[in-house]
């Protein structure tokens, strides 16, 4: 026998029971963060360099953000000029795990890698292979696949220890800034470790990395403010070592095979869609004075065909641009003059592409992606040629077709003419 309202009473008790359980669970979650990290207890990594010693020792050099006010002069002195707000620490070990553990013993804070902007790989380690670096970066729960990766000629630690950025606090921030504008020139690119994983996992398993170098940069003459009680002023050097991107390095699987200079690098970039805007210097048809066309858009296609039982590569590039500089007094808006300019543009792009082809063919490193095109279009043929594709690429005939157009002349249609006096 049930009393009147018994069902409603049980419903209210059941709801109350679940509310109590939910409150207990929320209290446990909201009571605090079990894995919290206080910012003042962290040494945040801005960039890192990895090198290989002749005896097989792995070396990691980390650039750590320096807290504000940590690098001031004693006695109230103020430094004027390029000075990075960073601390450097180096660790060594038989593997990267041990090297990082050894590095941590030299830093009075917890080394935190989640905000690492870039990793620079030394030449000796790159020749042995990127596999160890990529595997460690992919397994570590703090390291991100969005980290940019670059290569240095010689030792990578030289870049981190020598560069004296003036516009950014750390080298990691400088590389991040360069990445935003790297397509303006078009002679290189800065990939992430995630992109490199993808490129080394398909087709002919080849890729390229940007080369970062140390370049002396002129600085305005300045002096430091003297310390309290010291009347002497110290002149700063008129040059500072700055970071510079210069060409690319190409890889067969994960091993460094060779280098591309800026011209060859842009030749590859035309075929991969990495050039957003680039300058092409041509000659005025009448007097051979120089003119400059800025490319505003590019279209590219890398493919493969089978002709008479033989594979043949095809590269098609379409470039459009604006006239941005003119050293002659002739009217380049006329059809005949414009066609001559476009012909020269196409010839320049073709030469750069062919230069990149020649550089990579010597080692059989197919960074253009012809192997991937074969595997997609002729999978049966790829199964037969995959193991000897390096030798096949060295002699693969490639047709290069470049189409160029000048669409605008800026704010002035005709060149300025000086008046006779």
Computed from CA positions of residues 379, 385, 386, 389, in that sequence, does the dihedral angle turn out positive or negative?
negative
| pLDDT at residue 259 in the model | 96
What is the Cα–Cα distance from 112 to 114, expressed in whole angstroms? 6
Spatial distance between the Cα atoms of 196 and 170, rounded to a whole number of angstroms:
24
Q: Which pLDDT belongs to residue 60?
A: 96
Confidence check: pLDDT of 29 > 80? no
* Res 79 pLDDT > 50: no
Give the pLDDT of residue 340. Answer: 93
- Residues in CB range of 103: below 8 A, 6 or more apart: 60, 62, 89, 90, 91, 111
For 131-190, the pLDDT digits (tens) are 999 999 888 888 888 999 999 999 999 999 998 876 788 899 999 988 988 877 777 899
pTM: 0.83
Task: State the chain's mean pLDDT as an integer.
Answer: 85
Give the model's pLDDT for residue 81: 47
| pLDDT tens, position by position, 377-411 | 999 999 999 999 999 999 999 999 999 999 988 77
* Residue given tokens 């092409």 in the structure block: 280
CA 340, 342, 345, 349 dihedral sign is negative
How far is Cα 255 from Cα 293, in angstroms, rounded to an integer? 37
pLDDT class for 216, splitting at 50, 70, 90? Answer: confident
Helix (H, G, I), strand (E, B) or coil at 6: helix
pLDDT for 230 beyond 80: no
Angle 316-322-323 (CA atoms, 0-180°, nearest 5)? 120
pLDDT of residue 13: 52
Q: Give the dihedral of Cα atoms 8, 10, 14, 17; nearest 10 deg.
A: 120
Rounded CA-CA distance 163/152 in Å is 13
- Encoding tokens for residue 82? 């390029």
Residue 124 has a CB neighbour count (10 Å cut-off) of 15
- Neighbouring-strand partners of residue 251: 207, 256
73 pLDDT tier (thresholds 50, 70, 90): very low
Q: What's the token pair of residue 43?
A: 């040494």
> What pLDDT is attached to residue 265?
95
Q: What is the pLDDT of residue 80?
A: 43
Nearest to 305 by CA among 401, 238, 223, 174: 401
Q: Decide: 75 and 160 in contact? Cβ < 8 Å.
A: no
Q: Which of the listed ranges 37-41, 271-275, 412-416 does the model predict with the highest average pLDDT?
A: 271-275
* Average pLDDT of the segment spanning 346-375: 95
Confidence of residue 75 (pLDDT cuts 50, 70, 90): very low
Instruction: Kindly report, residue by residue over 363-381, the tens digit of the pLDDT.
Output: 999 999 999 999 999 999 9
Instruction: Please report the domains of the chain, with CATH numbers, ordered by start residue.
Output: 39-70+79-225+234-260 (no CATH), 261-416 (3.30.300.210)
Instruction: Give pLDDT, residue 153.
Output: 94
Other Cβ atoms closer than 10 A to 402:
19
| Interval 258-314: pLDDT, tens | 999 999 999 999 999 898 888 999 998 888 889 999 998 899 999 999 988 899 999
């Amino acid at each position: 026998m049930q009393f009147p309202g018994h069902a409603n009473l049980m419903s209210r008790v059941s709801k109350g029971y679940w509310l109590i359980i939910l409150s207990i669970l929320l209290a446990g979650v909201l009571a605090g963060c079990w894995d919290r990290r206080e910012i003042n207890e962290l040494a945040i990594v801005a960039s890192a360099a990895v090198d290989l010693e002749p005896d097989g020792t792995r070396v990691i050099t980390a650039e750590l953000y320096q807290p504000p006010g940590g690098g001031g002069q004693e006695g109230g002195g103020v430094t004027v000029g390029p000075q990075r707000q960073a601390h450097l620490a180096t660790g060594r070990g038989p593997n990267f795990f041990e090297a990082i553990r050894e590095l941590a013993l030299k830093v009075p804070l917890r080394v935190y890698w989640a905000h690492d902007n870039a990793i620079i790989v030394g030449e000796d380690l790159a020749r042995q292979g990127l596999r160890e670096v990529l595997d460690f970066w992919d397994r570590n729960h703090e390291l991100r696949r969005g980290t940019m990766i670059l290569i240095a000629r010689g030792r990578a630690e030289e870049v981190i220890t020598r560069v004296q950025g003036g516009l950014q606090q750390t080298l990691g921030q400088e590389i991040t800034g360069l990445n935003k504008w790297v397509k303006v020139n078009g002679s290189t690119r800065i990939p992430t470790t995630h992109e490199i994983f993808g490129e080394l996992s398909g087709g002919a398993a080849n890729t390229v990395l940007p080369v970062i170098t140390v370049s002396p940069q002129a600085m305005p003459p300045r002096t430091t403010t003297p310390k309290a009680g010291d009347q002497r002023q110290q002149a700063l050097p008129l040059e500072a070592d700055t970071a510079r991107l210069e060409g690319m390095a190409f890889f067969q699987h994960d091993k460094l095979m060779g280098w591309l200079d800026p011209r060859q690098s842009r030749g590859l970039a035309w075929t991969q869609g990495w050039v957003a805007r680039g300058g092409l210097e041509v000659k005025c048809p009448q007097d051979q004075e120089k003119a400059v066309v800025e490319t505003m858009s590019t279209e590219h296609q890398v493919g493969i065909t089978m002709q008479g039982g033989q594979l043949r590569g095809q590269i098609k590039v379409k470039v459009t641009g604006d006239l941005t500089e003119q050293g002659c007094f002739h009217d380049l808006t006329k059809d005949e003059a414009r066609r001559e300019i476009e012909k020269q543009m196409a010839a320049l792009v073709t030469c750069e592409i062919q230069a990149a082809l020649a550089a990579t063919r010597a080692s059989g490193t197919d960074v253009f992606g012809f192997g991937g095109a074969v595997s997609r279009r002729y999978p049966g043929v790829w199964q037969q040629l995959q193991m000897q594709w390096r030798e096949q690429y060295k002699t693969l005939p490639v047709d290069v077709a470049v189409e160029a157009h000048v669409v605008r002349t800026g704010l002035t249609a005709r060149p300025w003419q000086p008046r006779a006096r």
